Structure 1
Amino acid sequence: MSLKCFSRGNNNIKNTKRSTECPAFIIECEAVVVGSGSGGGVIAGNLANSGHKVLVLEKGSYLARTNLSLLEDTSMDQMYLGSGLLITADMDVMLLAGSTVGGGSTINWAASIQTPQHVLKEWSESYNLELFGSEFYKGAMKIVCDKMGVQSEIEDEGFQNMILRKGCQELGYPVETVPRNAPSGHYCGWCSMGCKDGRKQGTAETWLVDLVKSGNGAILPECEALEVIHEKKNDNSGKSKAVGVAFAFKNYDGVRQIGMVKSKVTIVACGALSTPSLLKRSGLKNPNIGRNLHLHPVVIAWGYFPDSQPMSNEIWPKAGKKSYEGGIITAVSKVVANFKGSGYGAILQTPGLHPGMFSALMPWVSGLDIKMRMSKYSRTAYIFALARDKGSGEAFSPYSVTYKLDKTDEENLKLGLEKTLRILAAAGAEEIGTQHTKGRSLKVKEASLKQFERFVKEESSIGMGKHSVPICSAHQMGSCRMGVDPTTSVVNSKGETWEVEGLFLGDSSVFPTALGVNPMVTIQSISYCTAQSVLQVLKNQKSE
C-alpha cells in the first residue's frame, strides 16, 4: 500500500498557519507518527502491521549498522539531542536524550525492566488510571518484552557489574540481575553509540522493521516537525481535530523546505523534552503541557581497581577486564530503593562511560591529577544512585529546562552515594571517591576504619546542586502526563490529548509520576496500549 503524495497546488487543508501556507509537497496517509523511539516506533509498527498507511517523521538521522562510528564525539553529535550537551537552566543537571532513528532505544544501555508493581498500584489507585491495574497492560508488557527478546542470562559479566555484584554480596546488600533486550553473550560496552551487530533489540531492529516490511509505511529521517495542524470541529464541543503535521527538511541542495502530512490521526512521540514544545507551537493551551517533568537524577561514585598488585598474585577483576567493556547494566541493587515502603528511594546501577564523558565528570584538581585519573580510566569502576524523584521541573523546549530537586530526593541520593562508596570498598577498590568539585579520594587499604567512615560520611553528606556535585539525567518523563482530569493532565488514559481529537502522545512524557527504574519497557507498554486506542479510532472512522 503506497503513500499518496501531492504537489502544493493540491493543498486542501484549511485554516493553516504560516509554516503550512506553501508546502513543497503534501503526503497523505492514515497516521503520522512524530518520533521513532520506544513510543513512536511501537505505535508505528502496530498500525502498519494492521494494514494502515503510516509515515514516521524523525528529527534525527538514520545510521545503518555499517555506518556507526562507535566513536564518542561523532556518536554524541549524530545520535543525541543537542549533541549530548543539554543542561538545565541553572546548569545543575546534565541531560542525555537520544535523537536518531530508534530514539533512546538505539543508544540506551539495554536494561529492560518491567513497570514495578508499586508504581502500577500508585498509578491505578492514586491517579485512578485503571489501565495500570489491568490484565491488558500486563499483556502489553509481555508482548513488548517478547518482541525485544528480553532475557536475564549473562555469559560473561563486565568489569563494573562484577564489582557492584561482589560489593553487595560482601555487605549483604540485595543485588539482582537486570533483564536486557540483548542475548546472553552480548559483551560490547558501546551500546550508547548504537549496536553495530544489531543484537540489541531497540525499535530500529523490531517495530520499525515491521513497518518497512509491511509495505504500509515509511520513515523520513532528518525531518523536524514544526506544528500539528488541527481544525475546529463543526459541533458545539469547542474542540479541534488533528489533520496533519507540517515539517521542515533540507533538499538535495541543502535548502530548508516545508513539507506537510495530511492524516486521519496524529501521534506525537518526541520525548519528554521535545513533545511539550511541539504542542505549544501547535497552539495547544493546556497549562499542564511542559510541567511535572521528572529526571531520575543520578549521582556517581568511583573506585580504582589496579590490574597489577606488587605484593600479591591475586588480581580481581582479572587483568583483561576493562571498565568500558561488557554489558553496561546487568546488575542492580535496591538496598535503598524503598520499593516496599513509599516507593521513593534510589536504585544502584553502573553507567557506560567512555573517555570523553569520564573526563567531563571527573572534577578538575590539576593538570597532573586529571592525567593520572585518565591513565587509570580502564580500571576505574563507576556506580551510580538513581532516585525516583518527587521533585519536578518544566520543559518548554529541550533548551529551556528548569528543575528543582526535592529534599527527599536529595536525602535518597546521599544515602545511595554512601552505599556505592561502601560497595566499591567492599569489592576491593584500592581508591574510592565521588564527583564532588574538591576531588577528594581515599586510599582504602591505607586508611583506618575511622578514616574510612569519616570519608564516607563527609562525601555522602555534601549538599546537591549549585554545581557542588554533578547530577546527570538519562531518563526524562512526565511533562505531558496522563490522567483522568483535564485540569491536571494533558492526555487521557487512551493517550489522546484533552484538547485536540485524534492527537495522541506516545512517549515518556505521559508518565503520571517518575518511574524509578529504566523506562524503556514502560514506554513501549503504554505505547502499545495507545496503539490499540488509535486502531479503534481508525476503525470507527472507516465505518462512519
Structure 2
Amino acid sequence: MEDPIRIGLAAGWKHVDASKLGKGGTIDTDVLIVGTGAGGGVTADLLSAAGLRVVLIEEGPLRSSSDFRMLESDAYPELYQESAARKTADKAINILQGRCVGGSTTVNWTSSFRTPPEVFDFWQRQFGLQQLSASSMSSWFAVMEHKLWVRPWETPPNANNKVLALGAEKLGFEVGAIKRNVKGCWNLGYCGMGCPTNAKQSMLLTTIPAALNRGATLYSRLRAERLRFDGNRISALDCSALQPDGIYPSGRRLLFRARHFVVAGGAIGSPALLIRSSVPDPYRLLGKRTFLHPVVISSALMPDRVDAYAGAPQSIYSDHFLREAPLDGPLGFKLETPPLHPVLYSTTLQGFGEAHAHLMREFTRANVILALLRDGFNPESRGGQVRLGLAGQPVLDYPLGEVIWEAARRALLAMAEIQFAAGARWVNPVHEAAPGYSTWAEAKRGIAELPLKPLICRVVSAHVMGGCGMADAPHRGVVDHRGRHFWLDNLSVHDGSVFPTSLGVNPQLSIYGLAARNASLLAAELSGRPVPAIP
C-alpha cells in the first residue's frame, strides 16, 4: 500500500525533523502555528490556501501508515503524550492525548458529533457568545463533514458495541449510530495505534498534506517554549529542538518571527504555553475551567467471545442519560464503548495478582462500556486548572467533587443494568473495591454501597477542553468568539481549549468546525481578500 506521507516527502515537502538540526537559527513567516491536531491542521490548510506563508510546529514525531503496525508497544510511546500515561496531578485520572503530527486525530477512534444545540444556548446565556449557535455553525460543520468524510457507519457493529445496543434497547433506552471520519475503512479496530490503511481522515492525511503541497513548512520534534511580546503584539516564539527520543532538549534552539501566531497545542498544552510566556491575564482565567469528560467504566464477561479489539471501535452510543438530565443540574452522561487491546485493558483494569490475571484470561469475552460525564454546566462542576510543574511542563489539577461522584454512581448502575440486560454473566465496575456481580439485583445493591473517591474508582478521559475559554469580554474569557486573544492583537487560539465548558460529545468535529470558521476569518484579514470556507 502506498504511503502518501513518504510520497510527499520524496516529492519535496518542507519537513524539518528538529532532532537532526546541526545548529539553531531564526525563521520568518506570515503565520506560525503551534500544534498539528484538529485545530492546527484545519488552520494550516485554510491559511496556506489564502496564499500565506505557514509554518507548523509539532512536539511529537512525523509518523505515517508505514510506521503503524497495530502494536501498542510502538504506538503509545511514539504517538501519545507521556506514552499514553499522562495523568492529573493526583494521579486519579488517566488522560489519553496524541503527541505526533496530526495530534489526537491520528490516534482517536473516529467518533464524530456536532456540538449539541443546548451547549451553544448555554454559551450564549453564560458567556455572551451570541455569534455561535447550532444554526450559525451548521454550514461549517457540514463543510468539514464533507471534507473529512464524516459519514454514517453502515457496517454492522462489532460484538462489543452490540452489547450496548442490545442491552439499552431491551431497557427502552434510545441508542444511535456514530458517524465516523473514515474512507474505505478496513474495519480492523486498531484506530488508536494510527491507521495502517490510510482510511482515517485525520489531519495527518488531509489538511497537513494539503498545506505542505502549497509550500507550508512542518517542524517536528520541536518544543514551543515561550512567546515573546512587546506591548500588545507577539514578536517571536522561542523553541527548543528535542533529541531523537522526543523527550529531552538537544540544545539547539530556533526563533520564529511571524505576522500572526496561532496556538493549537491542545487544552493542556495551549494554556501551558501562554502561562509560560506570562501573557497578560489580569482576571486570572488562563488555565482554569479545563474540562475532561471524566469517564467511569463498567466491564462485563459475556457468554460468548466478544473480541473487542476487532472492528470499528465506537459505532453505537446512547444519549438517554444526557437527555433526561437538566443541563445545569446533576451531571448527565453519554454511553459509548471503547476498543480493548491487551495493554490498554490490563493497565486500566482494577486488581492485582491472581484476581487481575483471572480477568485477563477472560479477555476475549470482555465487554466494556464507558460513561462520559458532562461537566462544566452545573455550578459545582468547575473542571480543573492547568499549571506549570517541573521544567515548565504542564500539570492538570482536577478535583473530583461530590457532583462528579454522584453522577459516577448513577453511570455505573446504568451500565451494569445494560450489560445484564444484554446477557452478561458477570459485571464488574472498574473499581478497586468492587467484587464483581452475577446478577443485576446484586450489582444494584453493591454499586449503591461502593466508596467513590480518587484512585479507588478508576477515572479516565480522552477529551480535554477549556483553559483558554471564549467569552464576550475579557473578565469572562481568554479569547473572543473568533479565538482572538483579548490582550494581544496578533495571537489566536484554535483548538478545544477555547470551549467554555465540556461538550457532552466527542470533541473533534466541534474543533474542526470552529477552527474552520475562525481560520477563514483570520485568512481574510491577513490576506486582505475574502477566502472560501474550505479549499
Same fold (TM over 0.5): yes
SS in 2 for 1:292: strand
The answer to whether residue 272 in structure 2 is matched with residue 277 in structure 1 is yes
Corresponding residue of 1:303: 300
SS in 1 for 2:112: coil
Question: What's the offset of the Cα at 1:28?
Answer: 1.4
Question: What's the offset of the Cα at 1:252?
Answer: 8.8
**Range with bigger deviation, 354-363 or 47-56:** 354-363
Superposed CA deviations along residues 269-306 of structure 1, whole A, max 9, x for unmatched, are 11111111111121213111111111100000011123
Question: What's the offset of the Cα at 1:454?
Answer: 3.6
Question: What's the offset of the Cα at 1:325?
Answer: 0.9
SS in 2 for 1:66: coil
CA distance in 1, matches of 2:150, 2:243: 40
**Range with bigger deviation, 141-150 or 331-340:** 331-340
- 8 Å Cα contact 1:158-1:187 kept in structure 2: no
Corresponding residue of 2:233: 241
Question: What's the offset of the Cα at 1:86?
Answer: 1.5
Superposed CA deviations along residues 280-338 of structure 1, whole A, max 9, x for unmatched, are 1212131111111111000000111233xxxxxxxxxxx5x511111111111112113
Question: What's the offset of the Cα at 1:534?
Answer: 1.6
Alignment of 1:129-528 (within 5 A): 129-133=129-133, 135-183=135-183, 185-215=185-215, 217-232=216-231, 240-250=232-242, 255-286=250-281, 287-307=284-304, 319=305, 321-338=306-323, 341-342=326-327, 344-365=331-352, 367-390=353-376, 391=381, 392-397=383-388, 399-444=394-439, 452-528=440-516
Q: Classify 1:421/1:340 alpha carbon distance in 2 versus 1 (closer, same or farther; 3 Å).
A: closer
CA distance in 2, matches of 1:142, 1:59: 31
Q: Classify 1:161/1:3 alpha carbon distance in 2 versus 1 (closer, same or farther; 3 Å).
A: closer
| Higher-Rg member (1/2) | 1
Superposed CA deviations along residues 222-281 of structure 1, whole A, max 9, x for unmatched, are 11111122222xxxxxxx212332211148998421111111100001111111111112
Superposed CA deviations along residues 43-87 of structure 1, whole A, max 9, x for unmatched, are 111101121110000001111110123211321111111111121
Q: Classify 1:356/1:439 alpha carbon distance in 2 versus 1 (closer, same or farther; 3 Å).
A: farther
- 8 Å Cα contact 2:120-2:134 kept in structure 1: no
Superposed CA deviations along residues 98-157 of structure 1, whole A, max 9, x for unmatched, are 111110111111000001111121122332212312754221111111111011132231
CA distance in 1, matches of 2:325, 2:430: 30
CA distance in 1, matches of 2:298, 2:116: 26
Superposed CA deviations along residues 457-493 of structure 1, whole A, max 9, x for unmatched, are 4225534323220111111111110111212211011
- TM-score, scaled to structure 1: 0.87
The residue type paired with residue 362 of structure 1 is: L
**Range with bigger deviation, 393-402 or 85-94:** 393-402
Alignment of 1:37-52 (within 5 A): 37-52=37-52
Percent identity between the aligned chains?
A: 26
Corresponding residue of 1:124: 124
CA distance in 2, matches of 1:252, 1:90: 30
Alignment of 1:71-90 (within 5 A): 71-90=71-90
CA distance in 1, matches of 2:427, 2:350: 14
SS in 2 for 1:143: helix
SS in 1 for 2:289: coil
CA distance in 2, matches of 1:455, 1:428: 14
SS in 2 for 1:203: coil
CA distance in 2, matches of 1:361, 1:168: 24
Question: What's the offset of the Cα at 1:209?
Answer: 1.7
SS in 2 for 1:104: helix
SS in 1 for 2:123: helix
SS in 1 for 2:267: coil
Superposed CA deviations along residues 432-468 of structure 1, whole A, max 9, x for unmatched, are 1111112411234xxxxxxx32422422553432322
CA distance in 1, matches of 2:191, 2:244: 31
CA distance in 2, matches of 1:296, 1:539: 38
Corresponding residue of 2:66: 66
Superposed CA deviations along residues 493-533 of structure 1, whole A, max 9, x for unmatched, are 11111121110001111001111110001111111122023
CA distance in 1, matches of 2:427, 2:325: 30
The residue type paired with residue 354 of structure 1 is: H
CA distance in 2, matches of 1:91, 1:369: 23
Query: Structure 1 stretches of 5 or more lacking a match?
Result: 6-22, 233-239, 308-318, 445-451
Corresponding residue of 1:310: none
Q: Classify 1:464/1:175 alpha carbon distance in 2 versus 1 (closer, same or farther; 3 Å).
A: same
The residue type paired with residue 257 of structure 1 is: R
**Range with bigger deviation, 452-461 or 382-391:** 452-461
The residue type paired with residue 476 of structure 1 is: V
CA distance in 2, matches of 1:248, 1:539: 30
Q: What is the number of equivalent residue pairs in this alignment?
A: 496
SS in 2 for 1:39: helix
Query: Structure 2 stretches of 5 or more lacking a match?
Result: 1-11, 16-22, 531-535
- 8 Å Cα contact 1:118-1:339 kept in structure 2: no
Question: What's the offset of the Cα at 1:219?
Answer: 1.2
CA distance in 1, matches of 2:339, 2:90: 25
CA distance in 2, matches of 1:228, 1:262: 10
